[in-house]
Amino acid sequence: MDAFFSQMTVEPFQKLWALLALPPDRLLPALCLLAGFIIYCELVRIALAVVLTRSVLAHVTVCTLTFALQAITLAVVLLHAAATHPGRGFINLGIALGLYVLWYLTGQATRLIRPGSEGADLGFMAVGALITFPVGLVGAIVFL
């Protein structure tokens, strides 16, 4: 067991953090990572809501996955990307808007599984946008 932990490295996390800076030369992999994260959150949310209908922990997880985790993650990514690549903050806001469209479409697709789902609820997404876009806008202005 000690050999396992002694050979661990932080390099994968450093590479992930660098990719989340939305580098212009690796923008497609970064967008695929964020798009996959959004789709994954929505699919896990709907799976938990269908399978564990009476679990309190599942309900809290579903509520977190509905908007908070995605919105906060995108806000952190926008701030990190603006600090890492100054001058690209407004471009990154456009990318985040595109990811919100993907988020909406994925939420609509979850309604095929469970029609009463909160997926693509514009109220939740508006609250998420109030978290994501002001942070991204401040980052874009500060690191202009």
pLDDT in tens, 74-107: 999 999 999 999 999 999 999 999 999 999 999 8
Whether the predicted pLDDT of 117 surpasses 80? no
Distance CA 15, CA 13 (A): 5
Whether the predicted pLDDT of 36 surpasses 80? yes
- Give the model's pLDDT for residue 118: 67
In 3D space, the residue among 125, 32, 19, 139 whose CA is nearest the CA of residue 91 turns out to be 139
- Give the model's pLDDT for residue 85: 96
- Give the model's pLDDT for residue 40: 94
Whether the predicted pLDDT of 11 surpasses 80? yes
Q: What is the mean pLDDT of the chain?
A: 91
Residues in CB range of 58: below 8 A, 6 or more apart? 48, 49, 51, 52
Q: What's the whole-number mean pLDDT along residues 130-142?
A: 96
